[in-house]
Structure 1
Amino acid sequence: MHKYSVRCPTCGEMQDPMSLICSKGHDALLRTFYGASQLIPRNIPGIWEFYDWLPVDGIIGEGTGKTVTYKSEAFARELGLSDLYIAFNGYWPEKNASMMTCTFKDLEAFPTMQRLLERQDRRIMAVASAGNTARAFAHVCSITRQPLLLVVPQNSVHRLWTLHEDTSSICLVTVEGDYYNAIELANKVASREMFVSEGGAKNVARRDGMGTVMLDAVLTIGKLPMHYFQAVGSGTGGISSWEASLRLIQDGRFGNVLPQLHLAQNLPCAPLISLWANNVADQSIVDRKCPKDMYADVLFNRKPPYSVVGGVRDALQATGGRMYGIDNAAAANARQLFEELEGIDINPAAAVAVAALMRAVEKKFIDRNDSIVLNITGGGMERLHRDYNLYNLVPDMRVSAHDPEAELKIVGKVSEKFKR
C-alpha cells in the first residue's frame, strides 16, 4: 500500500489523493487511510513528528510548529479537576511552543501547502479567512514563495500580520461584507484556470493537520481522553479530532472509547448550536445579521459542514457530543481566569472553549477525575509581540461583496501583481 489513500466514507471507493469530492457524487467528506497502522512519532521538528499520519510525501523544513500538551495544575485545581490537559497551540517559549502565528490554523496550512508543492502546482492558491487561517497561509507562503490570494472581511484585516518582512508572494483583498461573502468571492476566483482552492473542510490535509492536536494529546497522556473541548466556527476541528480518535482506536494501544466532543460557539451567532438543538439539516435558519458584537467573531461561519456525511452532526452523534453557547461576558471572564492561573495570554476563540469547560464542570457534565483535553486553539500573541518584530499585511485592494464586477477586479489585480 502507498503511504496513504483517500476514500469516500459512503461508497468506500478509493479517490484521487488530491480530490475534494467523491467521484460518484456522494455528499461526503473524503477520508484518509494510512499504511502505518500505529502512530509512531518521527524525530522531525514541528507537525512533521506525525508524518506517517499526514497525507504528504515530503516536508517543508522551515517554520512549522506543533501542539504542546501539558497537564494543568493551577487552572485544574481552581475547577476541581484532577486530570485536565491543555493542548496549547501558539507561542510560549517556556513550554517549547513555537507556533509563530499563534493559531492552530498553522496545522492546516503546512500539510496543505506541502501537497501543492508535491504536485509542482504553481497556480495561485485562493484562501478565504476571517483572519487566523489567512495569517497561517501567509506564513507558510512567505517561506515557500508560493503565490497566494487572501480574501478576508474588511473588519478582519487587523489580524493579518507576519514575521516575514518580504510579503511579495501575497495578494491581500479585503471585502466589505462578512466571512461568508469572502468565501463566496474566493470560490468564484478559485474556479478560474490560474487559481487553485485550498478546499476548506473538504481538504483531508487540513483536517488531518488539525487532527494532530489529538495525536499529541494522546501521546502525552498515554490514552484517549474521555472528553475533548474546543471552540469551533465551521466545526472542522471537531471533525478532525473525531477522525484522529478513530485512527487511534484502530492503533490498539490507547483505548477503544471515542472521546466525547464538547464544541462551543459564541452567542448569539452560533449556527451549529441552532442546527444541533433543532435536529435539522436546513442551514437557512442561520441569522444573516451575524457576526455582530461577538467576542470571537472568527468563530462565525454561515454554512458549516454540518449535515454532510462525516460532518459535524455525525461527529457529535458518534461521540455523544455536546454543544455550548457561550456569551461574551462568560468568554471574557474565562479568559481572565485562565490567563491569571496558567500564565499565558490566549485568543478570544480559545476563551470560548475555556468557558465551555467551566460550564460543563458547573453543570456536572463531567466528573472531577475524568481525563479531559482542552484545546487552546490560539495563544501567546501578546508574548510574541514583545519578542519579535511583526509586519502588518497591507491590502492590495478593497471590493464590495455586492459589486457584480468584484470577481473580475480581483483577477485583474492578482494578474497585475504576479504578472500572470
Structure 2
Amino acid sequence: MNKYVVKCPECGQVRDPYALHCPNDDALLRTEYSKKQIEPTDMPGIWRYYDWLPVNGIIEEGSGRPVTYKSEGFAKELGVKDLNITFNGYWPEKEAFIRTCSFKDLESFPTMQRLIENNEDRIMVVASAGNTARAFAHVASITGQKLLLIVPKNSTHRVWTTNDDTSSICTVTVDGDYYQAIVMAEKIASRDEFVSEGGARNIARRDGMGTVMLDAVLTTGSLPQHYFQAVGSGTGGISAWEASMRLIEDGRFGDNMPRLHLAQNLPCAPLYSLWTGIELTGRCPEEMHDDVLYNRKPPYSASGGVKDALDDTNGMIYGITNKEAEAAQKLFEQSEGIDILPAPAVACAALIRAVDAGEVKPDEQIVLNITGGGLKRLQEALSTKQLGVDLTVSQTDPDAEKKILEKVSELFSKGGY
C-alpha cells in the first residue's frame, strides 16, 4: 500500500502525487495517509512526524521541529489557565533548534525532499518576503539543489543562513513588493528549465506546517478549543485545519474541531477585508509591523481554502494594529523569556483581544503558534551569513525576465543549466 495518495476534496478523484491542481475544479488538493493513527518517530527534527508527511525518505541534516510547552508567564498575564505555546525557532533550553528561526522550515524540508524523490533537476523558484526564502536557502545549502530566490528589495535583510556553502543559490531582488516578486517568479517558473515550489497548493508545504498542530496535540494529549496564528496568505490556518481533521479521524485526541483565530496586520490585511467586508486604506506594506504578513492574493475562496477553513471551525480573523502588536511582543518576551519575530506578535495581540472580549474563556485550552523566534538567542550561539544579491531588477523593466535568465545561466552554467 502507498504511504499516501493525493486527492481532490471537491471531486474526490485521486491525482498525481506531485500535482498542484485538479483539472476539474479550483480545489486545493489534499493528502490522504494510509496510516490513520500517527506515531511519532525517533527521527530528527520535523521527521518526527514522518507518518503524516508526503515523503518516502528524509533529509537527515539541519531540520528542526515545533516544540510545545505550557505557558506560565504569558498565561498569567492574560488570566488563562491552559495556554500551550508551540514555538518555532531557536531556543536550545526548550530543545527548539530551527536554525532559520521561522516555521517556514517546516515547509521547505518536505518540499525539498519531494523534489529529490522525484529526481527533479530543474531549478526551483521561490518568491518570498524573506522568511520562506531563508528557509529554502537553508535546505538548499544542505542538499545542493539549485535555487532561484526572488524577493522584494526591502526584504533582503531577512535572507541569511547559518551554512557556509550557498553556491547553489541565486538571489534576485525586485524593486517592488511581495506580490511583484510572486508575479516575476511565476513568469520564470513557467519555463521548462525551472520548477515552482507551489505555494499554498503544495501539499508538502501545508502538511509541513500542519506539524504545529500535531506537536501541540501529541504534547497535550487532546485537540485544543482554540488555535491562534498570524497569517499572510492564510495557508498556515488551512494547514492547522487539515491536521485537525486527521487528528479527529485518529480517534485518540477528542472530536472537537479547534476554532481558528487568524490574525492580520492592519492596514494591509486582505484576508481580514475579505472576511469582514471592511475596506482598508493605507500604504502597503510600509505601514506594517511586519510586512511578511502582506499577501495581496491569498487562497481565500478556493475549495479547501481559507474561507472553508474558517467556516468549518467557526473561525475568526482579527485586524491588529501596529500598536497592539508592539505591546503584545513586549509582553510576551518579558513574560516568556525569549525574543520573537514581529509576525507572531500579531498573533499574541489577537489572543489578548480575544480573551478581553470573552471569545476565549479562562479555562479553555488554547494553542498559540509562535511562528518565529529566538533570533537573538541564535545569534549568541551561531554565526549567520547574509546571502549576497546577484541581481536587482525593476518590475517595470521589460527586460527583467531576460536579465534574470542570463544571471541564472551565468551562475549555474557549470552545473549544466
CA distance in 1, matches of 2:249, 2:240: 14
- Out of 301, 304, 310, the position equivalent to 2:298 is 304
Does the 8 Å contact 1:264/1:352 carry over to 2? yes
CA distance in 1, matches of 2:172, 2:280: 26
- CA deviation vs aligned residue, 1:95-139 (integer Å, no higher than 9, x gap): 000000000000000000000000111110000000000000000
CA distance in 2, matches of 1:41, 1:287: 46
Structure 1 residue 288 displacement after superposition: 8.8
Structure 1 residue 23 displacement after superposition: 2.9
Structure 1 residue 287 displacement after superposition: 6.0
* Compared CA separation, residues 358 and 158, structure 1 to 2 (3 A): same
Counterpart residue identity of residue 314, structure 1: D
Pairing 1:394–2:388 present:
yes
Counterpart residue identity of residue 159, structure 1: R
Pairing 1:61–2:55 present:
no
State the match for 1:5 in structure 2: 5
* Compared CA separation, residues 331 and 298, structure 1 to 2 (3 A): same
Structure 1 residue 385 displacement after superposition: 1.1
Does the 8 Å contact 1:266/1:326 carry over to 2? yes
CA distance in 2, matches of 1:83, 1:264: 20
State the match for 2:277 in structure 1: 278
Structure 1 residue 386 displacement after superposition: 1.5
- CA deviation vs aligned residue, 1:187-215 (integer Å, no higher than 9, x gap): 11001111000000000000000000000
CA distance in 1, matches of 2:144, 2:271: 36
Counterpart residue identity of residue 126, structure 1: V
Pairing 1:119–2:118 present:
yes
- CA deviation vs aligned residue, 1:140-185 (integer Å, no higher than 9, x gap): 0000000000000000001111001221110000000000000000
CA distance in 2, matches of 1:34, 1:402: 45
State the match for 2:256 in structure 1: 257
Counterpart residue identity of residue 247, structure 1: R
SS of match in other structure, 2:32: strand
SS of match in other structure, 2:210: helix
SS of match in other structure, 2:110: helix
Uncovered stretches (5+) of structure 1, i.e. residues with no partner: 280-284
Counterpart residue identity of residue 114, structure 2: R
CA distance in 1, matches of 2:166, 2:345: 31
- CA deviation vs aligned residue, 1:358-380 (integer Å, no higher than 9, x gap): 00011111100000000000000
SS of match in other structure, 1:142: helix
Counterpart residue identity of residue 6, structure 1: V
Pairing 1:98–2:92 present:
no
CA distance in 2, matches of 1:402, 1:184: 12
State the match for 2:154 in structure 1: 155
CA distance in 2, matches of 1:287, 1:181: 19
Structure 1 residue 286 displacement after superposition: 7.7
CA distance in 1, matches of 2:352, 2:80: 11
Structure 1 residue 232 displacement after superposition: 0.1
Does the 8 Å contact 2:267/2:282 carry over to 1? no
Structure 1 residue 289 displacement after superposition: 4.5
Counterpart residue identity of residue 30, structure 1: L
Does the 8 Å contact 1:230/1:262 carry over to 2? yes
CA distance in 1, matches of 2:292, 2:16: 32
Counterpart residue identity of residue 327, structure 1: T
Pairing 1:52–2:46 present:
no
Counterpart residue identity of residue 10, structure 1: E
Q: Moved runs in structure 1, 4+ residues, more than 2 A? A: 285-289
Does the 8 Å contact 2:172/2:392 carry over to 1? yes
Structure 1 residue 257 displacement after superposition: 1.1
Pairing 1:20–2:20 present:
yes
- Out of 286, 292, 315, the position equivalent to 1:292 is 286
SS of match in other structure, 1:263: strand
User: How many residues are treated as equivalent by the alignment?
Assistant: 414
- Please, what TM-score do these two structures have when normalized by structure 2? 0.98
Counterpart residue identity of residue 298, structure 2: P
State the match for 2:182 in structure 1: 183
- Out of 319, 325, 331, the position equivalent to 2:319 is 325
Uncovered stretches (5+) of structure 2, i.e. residues with no partner: none
CA distance in 2, matches of 1:207, 1:33: 13
State the match for 1:282 in structure 2: none
Structure 1 residue 290 displacement after superposition: 1.6
SS of match in other structure, 1:306: coil
Pairing 1:385–2:389 present:
no
CA distance in 2, matches of 1:286, 1:201: 24
- Please, what TM-score do these two structures have when normalized by structure 1? 0.97
CA distance in 2, matches of 1:141, 1:288: 36
State the match for 2:408 in structure 1: 414
SS of match in other structure, 1:230: strand
State the match for 1:71 in structure 2: 70
Does the 8 Å contact 1:15/1:23 carry over to 2? no
Pairing 1:234–2:233 present:
yes
Structure 1 residue 221 displacement after superposition: 0.7
Identity, % of aligned positions: 65
SS of match in other structure, 2:77: helix
SS of match in other structure, 2:84: strand
Does the 8 Å contact 2:171/2:387 carry over to 1? yes
